[in-house]
Amino acid sequence: MTMRLLATTALAATIALPAAAQDELRFFNVFDATASALWVEPLEAFREATGVRVESESIAGSGAAVYPDVLRTAIASGSPPDVFFMWGGTIAQPFVDAGQTRDLSDLYEEFGWNDRFPPWIIDRLTQPDGSIHGVPFKARGMGLWYRKDLFEQYGMTEPTSYEELAQICETFIENGIHCASFGGQFGWHTMRLVDYFLEDTCGAETHDAINARTETWDQQCVVDAFARLRQWVDDEWLVPNFLGVTPTDSRMPMYLGNAAMVYEGGWFENALIGDGQDPGEYAFFLPPTPSGRFHAFPEQWKIPAQSTNQETAAAFLDWITDGETHMQWRAAFEGSVSAGYSPDCDAFPHACRWTEFLTSDRGTYPPTDQAFERELIDGFFEAQDGVVAGLITPEEAAAMIQRFVEEFDSPG
């Protein structure tokens, strides 16, 4: 008996499908080409073990700018997927508020999921009424990835303060190298840099308060954050003319040695491999702040309330979130937070380092597009892009965001 057949036989013993299981599942996700290739084997193994074919439908490349709208259209048309990917926070909340997702609380009890995932992740996904509409896929942290050869060439070490980071950027531009490359299309890539500035200039307490809209955005620390953004543009620490560049394409200047850094998450290790780069030639650090906190957010799977194949979807979710499954296909499930999973530190050393951060008690803050509703984040992006383009001042950007907040919180 081959190892593949042994694995499939063992897999079949772990999956309990309902008697009325359908033979196909529609599976919405945001996998890029690299991730899609990594998922071929596990999805085929599931089919061989159960007879259920999983039709993977990927909407990749634009992040939260396009995917939620595609999903809304599918649900509104009466043709929802059976399982779909979603980020956390306010990106996911509209689907819950509209009654479009199944409460999975019973599945947490049935499958023992409360013991499978870290408590902080479950807390993030739990609604105020105690219901829970998602099951964790991954925990994601974000930081600045850099070319090790460029840091070594100019005698640089990872910074421990914003001032040290600014000095690194100044040294690079003096030598004809941009400090970082960003893709301004969709807004969320540039947002990561602004989020970091806000955490540093405002501090953790105020940053959380302005995200929660319990304090005004029209205050000096927000102005200071946008002033930094403008400085990075004016001094060409950022690769110029990036507003029309996609986040994926923004990696190219770093690959070519024209920029030293990009702001990405743990997924970037696989992206480097897919782009033909040697991950050993890159490293990352958490952008330094006095709070010590860093960007982090959960990713999750959901079942639409309209799905006619919910029990089969539940069995599929139980399998794709099981640590034993993840250990069979470690690369596909990089970033897993499931009990029993550990990354292959020899093959994916960066993933191991991310796991250390994400399982520590170090504080985190969410990206703004998971703290703000869609209407508000569009206003945030408008202000942010206005500063980048030189159309508005940092003071005007802070006032503009506060105006959007007040209009949103006081409709009519």
pLDDT single digits (tens) 169-222: 999 999 999 999 999 999 999 999 999 999 999 999 999 999 999 999 999 999
Same domain for 170 and 29?
A: no
- Based on the domain organization, do 62 and 182 belong to the same domain? no
pLDDT(4) > 70: no
How high is the pLDDT of residue 21?
A: 62
Cα 274 to Cα 279: distance, rounded to the nearest angstrom: 10
Q: Is 358 inside a domain boundary?
A: no
Predicted confidence (pLDDT) at residue 3 exceeds the cutoff of 60 = no
Residue 401 pLDDT level (bands cut at 50, 70, 90): very high
Structure confidence at residue 59 as a pLDDT band (50, 70, 90): confident
Convert the pLDDT of each residue in 204-217 to its tens digit.
999 999 999 999 99
C-alpha span between 338 and 113 (Å, rounded): 9
Same domain, 171 and 248: yes
What confidence category does residue 313 fall into, taking pLDDT thresholds of 50, 70 and 90? Answer: very high
**Same domain as 152, residue 280:** yes
Cα-based distances in Å from 40 to 36, 37, 359, 370: 7, 5, 28, 30
Instruction: Please give the pLDDT value at position 218.
Output: 97
In the structure, what pLDDT confidence band is assigned to residue 11 with cuts at 50, 70 and 90?
A: low
- What are the pLDDT digits (tens) for 221-275? 999 999 999 999 999 999 999 999 999 999 999 999 999 999 999 999 989 998 9
**Within this chain, do residues 14 and 158 fall inside the same structural domain, yes or no?**
no
As to burial, measured by CB atoms within 10 angstroms (0-12 exposed, 13-18 middle, 19+ buried), residue 145 is buried
Extract the tokens encoding 205: 């307490």
Alpha-carbon distances of 51 from 8, 45, 73, 341, rounded to whole Å: 12, 10, 29, 26
On whether both 287 and 307 belong to a single domain, the answer is: no
Mean pLDDT of 40-64: 90
Query: Given pLDDT bands bounded at 50, 70 and 90, which one contains residue 76?
Result: very high
- pLDDT average, residue stretch 289-312: 94
- β-pair partners for 295: 365
Q: Does 88 reside within a domain?
A: yes
Domain count, the chain: 2
Same domain? 269 vs 371: yes
Does 357 reside within a domain?
Answer: no
Does residue 279 belong to any structural domain of this protein? yes
Mean pLDDT of 97-116: 95
2, pLDDT greater than 50: no
Other beta carbons within 10 angstroms of residue 219's beta carbon come to 15
Q: Which two tokens stand for residue 265?
A: 């998450």
| Residue written as token pair 């990206």 | 367
Judge if 271 and 383 occupy the same domain: yes
**If pLDDT is split at 50, 70 and 90, which confidence band does 292 have?**
very high
Residues 239 and 267 in one domain: yes
pLDDT tops 60 at residue 7: no
What pLDDT digit, counting tens, does each position of 345-389 carry? 998 899 999 988 988 888 889 999 999 988 899 999 999 999 999
| Direct distance between the N- and C-terminal alpha carbons of the chain, in angstroms, rounded to an integer | 69
Burial class (CB in 10 A: 0-12, 13-18, 19+), 151: middle
Together in a domain, 278 and 333: no
The fraction of the chain above a pLDDT of 70, given in percent, is 95
Average pLDDT, stretch 271-280? 94
**Is the confidence at residue 18, as pLDDT, over 90?**
no
pLDDT score of 412? 60
Residue 354: inside a domain, yes or no?
Answer: no
Q: What is the mean pLDDT of the chain?
A: 92
Which pLDDT band holds residue 23 (cuts at 50, 70, 90)?
Answer: confident
Which has the higher per-residue pLDDT, 123 or 30? 30
Q: Is residue 339 domain-resident?
A: yes
Q: What does the pLDDT read at residue 213?
A: 96
Are residues 113 and 87 part of one domain?
yes
**pLDDT bracket for residue 134 (50, 70, 90):** very high
**pLDDT exceeds cutoff 90 at 28:** yes
Question: Given a cut of 70, is residue 20 above it in pLDDT?
Answer: no
Residues 289 and 380 in one domain: yes
- pLDDT for 195 equals 98
Domain range for 279 is: 141-295+363-409
For residue 114, the model assigns a pLDDT of 94
Whichever domain contains 125, its CATH number is: 3.40.190.10
Whole-number pLDDT of residue 1: 26
Domain-located, residue 43: yes
Pick from 103, 99, 31, 26: which is nearest to 67 by CA?
31
Domain assignment of residue 61, yes or no:
yes
